[in-house]
Structure 1
């Protein structure tokens, strides 16, 4: 089952167009503009269809021409833009459209259907089980309302290939009895709303971070969420902390924020246990701190310090002390420039900091500055990249971004810049993700 997240924002998106709060400024600076939450499944089924969803699909290179089913959770205007039905009526798609949802949401749609457009409405309420083409749908209750209790629902969706997901947007906290309906579901993916961050007092019909964690605990206790479930926070609003802090706090609960345009292949064979990330940045850019934050949810991490000690260098010793003091006490530190062996023998997540000092150590070891041949250095780079590819644990490497400044004046400076550029490029090519940190702000490259 392929799921395209057309939007992952709350009703007013994130950032809010009328707000200057820290969270909105941070999102705007990153260019992370979240639209109203909706998703496209296998190009044939829409989960909610607010007014922004059709245009979002086009911006992502998708067409809605093949959509045969729309599942509406409720009639609030960020989830239901009925004018899309009028626009559809102007095109002969050649097939019927089935619109499924609470009766009040469907009533808001009826006057928007063209006179000859083949649209069929199917009202549902919590507890119903039905088929939407080849998809099996169970309708679940939501702690949310438009006009009255019961006029908002959630969806448990199973694809023809057996992949199963929960679309839980919008809802407040569930009473204990509701978890029986999803017991032992073992969802492949759960899309769970998280609107209000630390301002959960604003509404009992949405989730803040504490309520998100509580509902997720209930789903785990019911075996609806397992260790293999991808838990994605959606309906994100600007009452959340800035994205770095939100990511860190969601990781603690085994979840992550969704992103507009993200494509998920739910139920596909899991990727290898290793997940490789390269974090690049200039001097004092915040790259090391960001790398540490990415591993904050792991109880134990091995920190591979490639710089070693420098006798008589008080400033370097102070740098090392600052790094050590901010790392959790559960982390262990290994000082070595044999990074390939550390990668090959790792049994817990690794943080390698950094590739620039590793390269310096290899150049020193092979006496390159004394005129020796570069062949052994290139062999070391080959071994490093091979070990990086084969590493079986989550691993993050930090490196200096050296290609943005002026051309170094010395031959040795140009040689180091060129070699580190090669190292960075090869490690990035072998990584699932890469980040550039600029002035403390991480920018996703992959």
Structure 2
């Protein structure tokens, strides 16, 4: 399966567009209403924002043959999508599946000759939709809807996922039904963060942790399960703190536009490129969000008397989980070879600058020492025994630097980036906070 997260936010998203709270003002990731597109064929919820999100992420919905609604709340059911489809003259059949509260909102948006089949479901149902087996499970949500909200256990071949939004702590019948499932991925709602007095049928951080623990104890969540928190709101702390708290449960926050591929081998070496303030460091940190312990190789060093640099360093340190170990060093080859836990190296540009300073390249222009350092770094990157993520500046897209030293640095960093990319499993280019995965050669 391929699951594209069209949205990972609550009804009002995160940040809330009308809010100026600390959580909203500090949000580095914009999250829309929670929905997902599976294999370009099956939609899990389809609120009013989902169709446009699909287009934004380069997908068409013309191949969708099944829509699964969890309940009738407006952020999960956007029936206008059915009319949009009708206007194109679509002739392919479409299954619209969900509890009565959701389907009643959709029926008037379908023309009499539209090839749309409504399938009303309830907890305990087991239905076949094309290549997918869908088990319908009870949610703890929606007393204002007649208490008919549902969750979905979706499998295709050997892949199996659990779509669990919206719900509070899972009913006993649902916990029993998922026992031993060994899901590849679980998408579990976590709406209220540190606000535990909400009195609603949603999860907050403590109840989320308790539910994940129950799923682990029952064998629904196993060692390889990707546990992704969705339906996130501004009641949560900032991204870095949230990531650290979720990591304690072996979970992580989902991000809009993220593609989850159950069973795919995790990249062991990832290079994240980007310009200034492109979001490259935050994205790199997010890649290791689920790791309890990470060695952060900070290559920028300490610049005595530079208050602006000191503030940058302070902010970077403040957003890292407390369990991460920061090592200030430019001897990165040795650190990579000796790594016993995942490594995040930030960044190649400051490392290269330090090596050029060390070899006095700016004085005599001799590059032999720097070239040897680059060779050693590439060898160590290739041999690193743990998961490793490196951040680097993409400096080749701007104007030609006016000074010879600037041109030399640009050229050497371009060479270093290309060599590290060639030895990486995954290369991501960050543009305006959006990750673009670069294809292999």
By the TM > 0.5 criterion, same fold? yes
Residue in 2 aligned with 1:168?
164
The change in CA–CA distance for 1:204 and 1:96 in structure 2 (over 3 A counts) is: same
Residue in 2 aligned with 1:104?
101
User: Aligned partners of 2:166 and 2:273: how far apart in 1?
Assistant: 35
- Asked if residue 387 in structure 1 is aligned to residue 383 in structure 2, the reply is no
- Asked if residue 244 in structure 1 is aligned to residue 244 in structure 2, the reply is no
Residue in 2 aligned with 1:26?
26
The change in CA–CA distance for 1:151 and 1:341 in structure 2 (over 3 A counts) is: same
1:338-388, Cα deviation, whole Å (9 max, x unpaired): 432432342322344664664456446656466373134223213313432
- Asked if residue 94 in structure 1 is aligned to residue 94 in structure 2, the reply is no
Residue in 2 aligned with 1:218?
214
Moved more, 408-417 or 390-399: 408-417
1:319-349, Cα deviation, whole Å (9 max, x unpaired): 8xx99x9899987787865432432342322
The structural deviation recorded for 1:63 is: 1.9
Helix, strand or coil for the counterpart of 1:216? helix
The structural deviation recorded for 1:187 is: 0.7
Residue in 1 aligned with 2:68?
71
Residue in 1 aligned with 2:82?
85
User: Aligned partners of 1:289 and 1:58: how far apart in 2?
Assistant: 25
Helix, strand or coil for the counterpart of 2:187? strand
Contact 2:101 2:146 in 1 (8 A): no
Residue in 2 aligned with 1:184?
180
2:36 paired residue among 29, 32, 39: 39
Residue in 2 aligned with 1:122?
119
The change in CA–CA distance for 1:154 and 1:416 in structure 2 (over 3 A counts) is: same
User: Aligned partners of 1:293 and 1:52: how far apart in 2?
Assistant: 24
Moved more, 200-209 or 136-145: 200-209
When the two chains are superposed, the root-mean-square deviation of aligned CA atoms in Å is 4.0
Residue in 1 aligned with 2:6?
6
The change in CA–CA distance for 1:138 and 1:382 in structure 2 (over 3 A counts) is: same
The change in CA–CA distance for 1:78 and 1:304 in structure 2 (over 3 A counts) is: closer
Moved more, 343-352 or 163-172: 343-352
Contact 1:340 1:388 in 2 (8 A): yes
1:194 paired residue among 167, 190, 196: 190
Contact 1:433 1:445 in 2 (8 A): no
Moved more, 74-83 or 425-434: 425-434
Aligned 1:254-265 pairs, distance under 5 A: 254-265=250-261
The change in CA–CA distance for 1:155 and 1:393 in structure 2 (over 3 A counts) is: same
The structural deviation recorded for 1:191 is: 0.9
Residue in 1 aligned with 2:226?
230
Listed as ranges, the gaps of 5+ residues in structure 2 are 437-441
User: Aligned partners of 1:3 and 1:337: how far apart in 2?
Assistant: 39
Contact 1:281 1:436 in 2 (8 A): no
User: Aligned partners of 2:370 and 2:222: how far apart in 1?
Assistant: 45
Contact 2:15 2:233 in 1 (8 A): yes
Listed as ranges, the gaps of 5+ residues in structure 1 are none
State the aligned residue count. 429
Helix, strand or coil for the counterpart of 1:80? coil
The structural deviation recorded for 1:162 is: 1.9
Q: TM-score, normalised by structure 1?
A: 0.80
The change in CA–CA distance for 1:308 and 1:265 in structure 2 (over 3 A counts) is: closer
Contact 2:296 2:326 in 1 (8 A): yes
Contact 1:51 1:80 in 2 (8 A): yes
The structural deviation recorded for 1:104 is: 2.8
Moved more, 136-145 or 87-96: 87-96
Residue in 2 aligned with 1:346?
339
- Asked if residue 16 in structure 1 is aligned to residue 11 in structure 2, the reply is no
Contact 1:276 1:394 in 2 (8 A): no
User: Aligned partners of 1:405 and 1:61: how far apart in 2?
Assistant: 27
User: Aligned partners of 1:79 and 1:421: how far apart in 2?
Assistant: 45
Moved more, 41-50 or 381-390: 381-390
1:258-288, Cα deviation, whole Å (9 max, x unpaired): 2222222223x31244455579879xx9999
User: Aligned partners of 2:110 and 2:281: how far apart in 1?
Assistant: 55
The change in CA–CA distance for 1:238 and 1:124 in structure 2 (over 3 A counts) is: same
Contact 1:272 1:392 in 2 (8 A): no
Residue in 2 aligned with 1:373?
366
The change in CA–CA distance for 1:197 and 1:335 in structure 2 (over 3 A counts) is: closer
